[in-house]
Structure 1
Amino acid sequence: MEEVLDKISDLTGQPKTKIILEMLEQYVPVLEQTIEALEQIRDNKENALSIVQKFAGDLLLDGNQKLGQIATEVKNLK
């Protein structure tokens, strides 16, 4: 991991700490969704499977939206 961060830092000219912080900031929404799902499972164990299925579906939807945004940004670079 150190090698990857070093290479990204070299290529972008950004300090590794800034790269790491930006990456962690991007994960905050996913971590918040994870906390919410875990709390729901803790409070409602009988419906744990449906809670997990909804959580997974939401993550997939969010991921697909992000990929769409990235694809649009890349397309606009041309």
Structure 2
Amino acid sequence: MKKMILSSLVVLGLSTAAFAQAAAPDFATVDADASGGVSLAEAQVVLPDLTEEAFTAADIDANGELSAEEFATLAVPAPAM
């Protein structure tokens, strides 16, 4: 019984780690054209529910693309309640 519980916890822990990694995409991976910025189209590949309004709000310097710091504000998942 203890082995089953321990195995379940290990699997749950690995699943949670995989989910957390999937929830926070790497900036360099999202920047598909390696331009140093993430366009709306690139961001929507990993964040399909991202609206133009949310993208524009995150684009603090209003240059039409997100820097790594700006993108991080979108990629951070909301805390679970």
Normalising by the smaller structure, the TM-score range is 0.3 to 0.5
Q: Which has the higher contact order (CA 8 A, sep 6+)?
A: 2
What is the TM-score when the length of structure 2 is the normalising length? 0.39
TM-score, normalised to structure 1's length? 0.40
